[in-house]
């Protein structure tokens, strides 16, 4: 018997419509490979207690007033936000985050996470933890699956679609929509070397131009963490069982 469908949202303009969509029987997985969800997974793997994704810098500072011990992390145009403790590089989150709450806002990733906060469950997906995400989804055969590619500004992001395609390849019993088949085809084109498309992507080239090659290399490593990063009822992203 074929399991429920798997669909992919390829770009930010599609994400705009999701707050008004019925997602009560849907598991949403958000990919912002370069770099928001990769950073979240890395932070949680290194002991961060939880991560609060918010849409705007103003929201971040307001939430900081309620949680004064929390760190502020995130980016605008790829760079550290003035007054914040951390940027959006996963390499920054491998130290000094154990036991800490983090409030974060990014150009695309945190907006995508908030767009589906009414889904049955929400996972932060990355290449870094993709096997763990696949195992969870393979155990949830009655739920629809919606993969969100956070994108770059208002455009699709190659690396997010690639990750969605890789995840689809690990879910053989799902019925893919046309957009899911497109993502799967892209992954199959590059599956022998995942670094290549990340370097070629718009975000990858921007990071290389800023001498951040190590960040791209880090985000291209599949399944180095076996953890699930999920949104909890209070709206934060935490390690979930």
* 7 neighbors 146 (Cβ within 8 angstroms): yes
pLDDT, one tens digit per residue, over 61-87 is 999 999 999 999 999 999 999 999 999
Q: What is the pLDDT of residue 215?
A: 98
Q: What is the pLDDT of residue 1?
A: 44
pLDDT, one tens digit per residue, over 178-209 is 999 999 999 999 999 999 999 999 999 999 99
Q: What is the pLDDT of residue 2?
A: 52
Output the DSSP codes for 8-20: EE-SHHHHTTGGG
Average pLDDT of 4-24?
Answer: 96
CATH architecture of the domain with residue range 5-240: Alpha-Beta Complex (3.90)
Torsion of CA 17, 39, 126, 214, to 10 degrees: 130
Q: How far is CA 55 from CA 42, 104, 129, 215, 240, in A?
A: 20, 9, 24, 23, 23
Which neighbouring-strand residues pair with 29? 123, 147
Degrees, nearest 5: CA angle 127-37-174? 55
Q: Where are the alpha helices (DSSP H) in 139-234?
A: 158-169, 178-190, 195-200, 202-209, 213-219
> Above pLDDT 90, what percent of the chain?
97
Average pLDDT of 105-125?
Answer: 98
CA dist., res. 113 & res. 123, Å (int) = 9
Token match 């699956």: residue?
145
Q: What is the pLDDT of residue 4?
A: 87
Average pLDDT of 18-43?
Answer: 97
Sequence length of the chain is 241
Rounded to two decimals, the pTM is 0.96
* 204 neighbors 159 (Cβ within 8 angstroms): yes
pLDDT, one tens digit per residue, over 140-174 is 988 999 999 999 999 999 999 999 999 999 999 99
pLDDT band with cut points at 50, 70 and 90 for residue 223: very high
């Amino acid at each position: 018997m074929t399991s429920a469908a798997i669909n992919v949202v390829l770009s930010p303009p599609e994400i705009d419509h999701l707050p008004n969509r019925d997602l009560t029987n849907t598991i949403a997985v958000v990919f912002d490979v370069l770099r928001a969800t990769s950073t979240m997974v890395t932070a949680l793997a290194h002991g961060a207690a939880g991560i609060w994704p918010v849409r705007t810098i103003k929201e971040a500072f307001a939430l900081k007033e309620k949680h004064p011990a929390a760190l502020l992390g995130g980016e605008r145009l790829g760079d550290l936000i003035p007054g914040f403790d951390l940027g959006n590089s996963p390499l920054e989150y491998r130290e000094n985050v154990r036991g800490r709450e983090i409030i974060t806002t990014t150009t695309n990733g945190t907006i995508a996470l908030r767009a589906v906060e009414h889904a049955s469950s929400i996972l932060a997906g990355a290449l870094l933890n993709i096997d763990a995400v696949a195992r969870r989804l393979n155990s949830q055969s009655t739920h629809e699956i919606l993969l969100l590619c956070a994108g770059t500004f208002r455009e699709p992001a190659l690396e997010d679609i690639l990750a969605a395609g890789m995840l689809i390849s690990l879910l053989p019993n799902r019925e893919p929509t046309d957009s899911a088949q497109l993502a799967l085809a892209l992954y199959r084109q590059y599956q022998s070397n995942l670094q290549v498309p990340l370097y070629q992507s718009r975000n990858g080239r921007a990071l290389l131009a800023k001498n951040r090659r190590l960040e791209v290399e880090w985000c291209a490593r599949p399944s180095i963490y076996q953890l699930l990063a999920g949104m909890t009822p209070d709206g934060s992203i935490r390690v979930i069982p």
